[in-house]
Chain A
Amino acid sequence: MMKNAIVQKNYLLELSVELPFPGIVKVNPGQSLRAGELIAEAVLPAKFQVFDVLNQFRMDGKEFESSLKRLAGEEVQKGDVIVKKPGLISRIFRAPEAGKLVAIRDGRITLAMGERTIQAVSPIDGVVGEIIPALGATVVSHGLGIKAAWGNGKTASGNFVMIDLVDKLAQDVENKIVFLNKTATIKEIKKLQKAAALGILVSSLDASRAFGDEQFDLPVASLLGFGKAVLDDFTRSKLEELTDAEVYLIARKADPKTGIRPILFSPTEDNQTAALFSEPETELTGRSVRLLGLPHFGKSGTILEVSVKPEKLASCMEAVLLTIETSEGEILRLPFENLEFLSD
């Protein structure tokens, strides 16, 4: 029944960094990495050329065999003769660029030319936790993690700064990870992007327009998701502590199936490892929670009581209800599923 907390002091960040195609993994388990350091590399041909000799030179299989001047697997230089059809007017197929003759099948010659290197680099400082054979590695790091609800799939690092308004930017946001402490509109995010912010974290995103299709060049994440909401004091105070600190905004796309969520991460030096066994579940009463769903979206509160039996709601749904006292002193009764724990 327990859920992971949104703000975790000793959060173990695990990031899988993979090549889209198999290549060579350049790191070892336990190796320390700096952000930007190479993890894996694939060297692929820049382009291929398939030449149908039988058709182009009008020859049969036997003639083809005798006309071949190179073998499969051989390196070729630009201009090298690969096929020469003898005759009164001989016809020649030369390598258009330096490369390798990768296949000779069915009267066709396949040349791989040039090189294209694809690299997978670490987006964070960390340690190699696990090797993903031929593709990359999982990089791990410890620190303060603040989970968000929505991200656009991008990652950046930089110094953290908090602002309340975009209209008159009191602070320099250039090359910073900016937290905009309000329900942000697309226009405001675009303005921050124009001001050269490295990444943007917002309390929530304005829901009057769908954000899903919006393309931004930089990482954008929303702590609460979508709709009008005010961020709780606890999370805000944790964010304030990060002012000027080096942080990573890992605005990966939320995947409810796997529990992956975007995260604002600040590594710590103490290297305290996560416990071998999970902590025993703590009592629900007394825990700080954040409320999901309208009209209390984003508010924080403390659990006072847990109902014994499921109860019926106005929607006719039945759920185990928790009695919550919000930070504003309101007493509410809400389903367990509509709450997120703020801290462990």
Chain B
Amino acid sequence: MTSSYISIDFSRRQTQAWYFDNRFGSYHLLEHLTVSNDDFSGQGLSAPFIALIHELELRIGQEFITSAGRFQFEQNANQSGLKAVGISYSIGKPIRVALVGLSEKYSLLPLRKLSRFYNTEIVLEINLQNEPNVSVQLDKITNTPFDLLILAGGVDGGPEKALRAMIGNLRLLVQLRGEANRPQIVYLGNQALADYAKMEIEAGDDLHIGGNIQPDSGLEDLSFAAKAIRSAINRLRLKEFPELEIFQDNPRIELMPAEFGRARIGQWLEQIQENGKGILQIQLEADFGQLIAIQNGKRMGIWQNFEVDEAMVEAVLAQSDRQVSRESVTSILYNRFLHPNFVPTSIEEMSIEMTCLSLRIQNLLKELSTLHPEFRFEQKRGLRADFEPILISGSEFERMPTARQAFIVALNGIVPRGITTIVADDHRLIASLGALADFDPMLVSQIIDSDLFTALATVVTVESPLAEGERVLQLEIDEGLENIRDQYEVAQSELRQFENTPGHGLRVYLAPEANSEIGMGLRGLGGWLSGDESVLGLIVDARGRPFVRPIEKSSQEACNDWIWKFGE
């Protein structure tokens, strides 16, 4: 019997639906539909949702929802066909968060990592050690408007006094704010106080108890908080978008922030792959960017809303591959922020656009490495840890006119290390699969294995102390045609493209110079590299870390060559 699943994603600018079923034996994506929310201006989330499902019904030839807009399996649980629905969202205002912890290192820092994963703005932090005055603590939490308060601290069975005092204050806060307007409270501290917190705070469904993120001295595990944080965020978004309420409390519908779904798939991908590398996901939208990294089983993430500031203007001016004036950079960046659909018409505007996107990626990487030093990103040297694949998605990549430009934006932003593959999630499947993963793991594995992702390029980066122009790498590329092998050389400061022979995957022997490293584990160590066919083929990034620009060229000329001339 055919099993089918629908995934819906609500984002700020569009609503999307995916329909998967296994009528051909294994799961396939049969439909992927997108509507622009601008076409349903002022009609909330229900109108685009209904429009999408009706279109899906037409195309699939099956009814999914009732006239009241509810899924049919809600009325008839035995209805065959549609098994479950996953709902993901990346909508809503930044959530104002207050963080309260027992110490900077063991409580507040982990809480920052937790909250910055989502679309949040930290408006208050209280370190109970630095601010032991309970009256001042109470003043702070009652005088700061926030939507979500996260309290953590203490190992299980450890000291309780400071936490008890804060819990007492939270009880008062909840009473002062009233039931309709009280914030969501998440408790992630000493589990000996979990029941006490529940009874004392008396916030009903607005209190979310999670595991202790520091169950033992020196041991930090943020995964214990995931369920409670997700539940709190869901509740906040349900208040903000009451139309989503129809999707809660049904075991066949799962509702979650899109970033949660993406991280879930990232973790699964890291577990099943055998290269020992992490998974990096970058989503860039006009109004926000999100970075999720999974490294050694650990989930790290950051959300940044797009804002133009002085630092952004300066950085675009410094990194642009064109001679652009400060005035035109400021003007274009601000106007791009104010008019997100603005289309760059000239080469200069396109250069500013691409530089800005790369910088937004760098800003994400920088903030993530500040919160998680083990992520290892350096402003000038780029990523210092190995990630493969690097998944890119979002409207900002999609609006790039060519795959080459989308790739360059990603490459210049990420500045990867070693050997990696950059893959475009053109169907934005990751979040949609994340929302369905709990229902049927086979669905996720079969869809991931299908050819729905676009491999943009395999990237080999070369790091070498040699001077600009000196040979750092020799390549022997198996073209796949009657054992023809072509030999090439790459010099320091070059960015080179080697296209695939159509219909053939990548097979290349890499021979770095003695003191050059290409990510095979040792300087000078090379070997065979095989990979699937990709849009751009093999890219060798020998620009150095930090970039070594040709002596005779200005920084702008060098950037221009790297961006526009590679692959010619």
Contact = CB atoms under 8 A, between A and B. Distances in A.
A binds B: yes
A134 B164 contact: no
Nearest to B13: A257
A337 B343 contact: yes
A22 B330 contact: no
A225 B335 contact: yes
B79 interface: no
Q: Which of B12, B169, B180, B334 lies at the interface centre, i.e. has the most chain A CB atoms within 10 A of its CB?
A: B334
Contacts of B402: 316
Interface in B149-174: 164-165, 168-169, 171-172
A318 interface: yes
A27 interface: no
Contacts of B309: 210, 212-213
B41 A294 contact: no
A258 to B, nearest CB: 9
A129 interface: no
A294 B171 contact: no
Contacts of A297: 331, 335
Contacts of B339: 256, 292, 337-338
Main secondary structure of the interface of A (DSSP, over half): loop
Contact of B334 (A150, A228, A319): A150
Interface string B380-402: 00000000000000000001011
Contacts of B405: 316
Contacts of B338: 149-150, 225, 254, 256
B342 A103 contact: no
A337 B340 CA distance: 9
Contacts of A50: 134-135, 138, 165, 168-169
29 contacts: A20-B145, A21-B181, A44-B142, A50-B134, A50-B168, A50-B169, A102-B172, A133-B180, A149-B335, A208-B326, A225-B335, A226-B335, A254-B338, A292-B335, A292-B339, A292-B342, A293-B345, A293-B349, A297-B331, A312-B401, A313-B343, A314-B345, A314-B347, A315-B344, A315-B349, A316-B350, A316-B401, A316-B405, A317-B401
Interface in B358-416: 399, 401-402, 405
B341 interface: yes
Contact of B310 (A21, A213, A334): A213
B227 interface: no
B565 interface: no
B332 interface: yes
B332 A293 contact: yes
A315 B350 contact: yes
Contacts of B343: 313, 315, 317, 319, 335, 337-338
Nearest to B310: A210
Interface string B312-328: 01000000000000111
A105 B134 contact: no
A121 interface: no
Given A135-B181, A316-B402, A338-B342, 17 more contacts: A21-B176, A44-B143, A50-B135, A50-B168, A133-B180, A207-B330, A208-B326, A225-B338, A228-B331, A259-B41, A293-B335, A294-B349, A312-B401, A314-B346, A315-B349, A315-B353, A337-B339
